[in-house]
Amino acid sequence: MATAALLLEGIHKAFGGFVALDSIDLEIHAGELVCFLGPSGCGKTTLLRIIAGLETQTRGRVLQNGRDVSRAPPAARDYGIVFQSYALFPNLSVRSNVAYGLVNRRKGRAQIDARVKELLSLVGLPDSGEKFPGQCSGGQQQRVALARALATAPSLLLLDEPLSALDAKERDRLRGEVRQLQRRLRVTTIMVTHDQEEALSMSDRVVVMNRGRIEQIGAPLQVYEQPATPFVADFLGKVNVLNAVSLGGGRYRVGTIELATSANGAAAGESVRLYLRPEDRVLADSGPVESMPNACRGRVQHVDFLGTYCLAQLEVDAFQGQSLLIYFSLNQSHELGVRDGASITFALRGERVRVFAPGE
């Protein structure tokens, strides 16, 4: 097996009595884009800074391409970094900013000029070399910071919430651009973000973190559809949580009705929680739902209009007081007459239900 581009072994970080990171083990492969995703204070930025050598771990090892860099200063490691604030040198032109790391390496002038030109066109700013950072828009500054980080052709690119300072439109555009650039250059990339949409749309693998620990590592689809813990289910997207009792064989009783699922881990008689996303339902526009397994009937309490989708809260009598959030596309909501007080029949997708113990 090839050596990992980056290997973290038992990384532990304490600030005084506060444990910021608790035995983190992680292997990152060459050329992939990995997102550290989690709420603020989960330790994702601290982990990135330890990889960069800007913070020193209390315990544990960092290996880059098989080389132990655990105690190496930032300068002795091989990476480029883009900060949330971009940290562009305000007094230097865009060109000098991008050339900054190259000058440190004592490259020839012509060589530097050529490389800067190449990078600026790579990030789509071929004509902005003479500008100062203050004269650039947020998105342009972000691109300059990216060019600067990539200038020395590092084997690892670190991005610390690189898009969070941008407005929504610009953020969407740059998501695609960054991902494309990363694929083209095949540079191993770690991105820290608290934005789940960003993590899911950009990465090869997502590392979901909470309270200094890794909750789950997996492909975006995997962590979304098969969350390993209630935290992951809850943090990524919306989820319904239903109190239920296991009947064995993947069957659960919620209120007065039974649901058939493909999650058959719980022993009969055990109290559990069922996690189900608002889109994991079948509606009447795709067939006679009344006769499907797990069919339910609910009354619409209220509807949140979210653009192409509506999110409706339904009171299901059979659930005895537990309400359910269900997505409807705009068309479905028109066809099925989803409005306050309307009665809607639907079937839950048993194969999507995740089951966790109540205390988890």
Partner 1 sequence: MNAGIRSGSGFAPRTTLPVVEAIATRGGLLILAVALFVFLTLPLATLLMRSVEDRAGQFVGLINFVDYLGSAAFTRSAGNTLAFATLTTAITVPFAFVFAYAIQRSCIPFKGLWRGIALLPILAPSLLAAISFIYLFGNQGWLKFVLGALGVETIYGMAGMVLAMSFSSFPHAVMILLAGLALADGRLYEAADSMATSNRRKFLTITLPGARYGLISAAMVVFTMAVSEFGVPKVIGGNTSVLAIDIYKQVIGQQNFQVGAVVGIVLLLPVLAAFVVDSAVRKRNQSLLTARSVPYSPRPDRGRDLVLLIYVVGVSIALLLVIGMAVFGSFVKVWPYNLSFTLHHYTYGFEEAGVDNAWLNSVVMALWCALAGAALTFAGAYWLEKTRGADWLRPPIQLQAMTPTAVPGLVLGIGYILFFNHPANPLGFLYGTMTILVLSTIVHFYSSSHLTAVTALKQLDSEFESVSASLKVPFYKTFWRVTVPVCLPAIADIGRYYFVNAMTTISAVVFLYSPRTMLASISIVQLDEAGAVGAAAAMATLIVVTSAGVSVIFFAVEWWLARRTQAWRRHSI
- What is the binding site for partner 1 (CB under 8 A)? 52-54, 73-77, 79-81, 83-85, 87, 89-92, 100-101, 103-105, 134, 148, 152, 165
Nearest-5° Cα angle at 183, 140 to 164? 40
Rounded CA-CA distance 173/138 in Å is 13
Rounded CA-CA distance 345/307 in Å is 23
Q: CB of residue 323 vs partner 1: minimum separation in angstroms?
A: 34
Rounded CA-CA distance 47/228 in Å is 21
Assess contact for 83 and 74: CB atoms under 8 A. no
- Those residues whose C-beta lies under 8 Å from the C-beta of residue 258, and which sit 6 or more positions away, are 247, 251, 252
100 vs 309, beta carbon nearer partner 1: 100
98 vs 314, beta carbon nearer partner 1: 98
Q: How far is CA 205 from the centre of its chain?
A: 9
Q: CB of residue 74 vs partner 1: minimum separation in angstroms?
A: 4
Q: CB of residue 49 vs partner 1: minimum separation in angstroms?
A: 8
Strand partners, 356: 273
55 vs 225, beta carbon nearer partner 1: 55
81 vs 239, beta carbon nearer partner 1: 81
Q: CB of residue 317 vs partner 1: minimum separation in angstroms?
A: 38
Q: CB of residue 206 vs partner 1: minimum separation in angstroms?
A: 24
Q: CB of residue 90 vs partner 1: minimum separation in angstroms?
A: 5
Give whole-number Cα distances, 315 to 167, 292, 309, in Å.
37, 20, 19
92 vs 217, beta carbon nearer partner 1: 92
Assess contact for 303 and 339: CB atoms under 8 A. yes
Burial, 333: exposed, middle or buried (Cβ in 10 Å; 0-12, 13-18, 19+)? buried
75 vs 267, beta carbon nearer partner 1: 75
